[in-house]
Amino acid sequence: MLDLSSGPAAALATMFLSDQGARVVHLIAPGTQHLRAGGFIVWDRGKTCVGLDLERALEGIDAPASSGAPADFLRLVAGADVLVEDFAPSSPLQRLIEWTRLKHHNPRLVSCSITAYGKRGPWKDEPPIDDLVLARTGLLAGMPGFRPAPVHVVHPLPTVGAALFAAIGIAGALFSRETTGRGRRV
């Protein structure tokens, strides 16, 4: 499994799958400390962290495969069962994980994309901040409390929910792949 996560939801989803026995390779920018601050100290447990410059891979993605970061990335894709990413919909890195390209290099690949609001619509480029997601869904306004709404929820429900649903979707897609032989997007 290739983990291209930079945020908590995708990192947590791949941690769940790693905890269940998946071999997870987390691609991180060269020079990034393996044991980084924040939740990645926990979320990267059981994963192999490998340095690969995705920006450089993107620069040569349309060139014929020869050597360097683009070829390394495509070689990893060709040998992976699952790819998990959390790139913003407007990120240039979206070109790197276009489904038609990924499917060409590995038709059995299950590709999972985690965003706060999906890849289309007016909020697609909004940041994945739990409190904003909770407010926009109306949850903060509907929470009972000792004062009038909005009532802050301490638990990161959107992050944990996205991670759990991603892990379940990936498991379901892998199960389906055993019957159909084809990968899919989650």
Q: Whats the size of the chain, residue-wise? A: 186
User: In this prediction, what percent of the chain has a pLDDT beyond 70?
Assistant: 94
Secondary structure (3-state) at 165: helix
Domain boundaries, the chain: 2-120+161-185
How far apart are the two ends of the chain, measured CA to CA in Å? 14
Quickly state the pLDDT bin for 145 (edges 50, 70, 90): confident
Separation between Cα atoms, residue 160 and residue 27, nearest integer Å = 21
> What is the widest separation between alpha-carbon atoms in the chain?
63
User: Please, what is the average pLDDT of the chain?
Assistant: 90
We find that the CATH architecture of domain 2-120+161-185 is 3-Layer(aba) Sandwich (3.40)
What's the pLDDT at 35? 64
In the numeric block, the tokens 């998946």 are attached to 22
Q: What is the pLDDT of residues 120-139, one digit of tens each?
A: 999 998 988 998 898 888 88
Q: What is the pLDDT of residues 168-178, one digit of tens each?
A: 999 999 999 99
Q: How many CB atoms lie within 10 A of CB 136?
A: 14
Please, which residues bridge with residue 82 across strands? Answer: 110
Q: What is the pLDDT of residues 7-17, one digit of tens each?
A: 999 999 999 99
pLDDT at 104 over 90: yes
DSSP string computed for 21-49: T---EEEE-TT--SS-STTHHHHTTTPEE
DSSP state of 184: E
Q: What is the pLDDT of residues 57-99, one digit of tens each?
A: 888 777 655 566 688 899 999 999 999 999 999 999 999 999 9
What's the pLDDT at 37? 67
pLDDT at 32 over 60: yes
Cα-to-chain-centroid distance, residue 91 = 13
pTM over 0.95: no
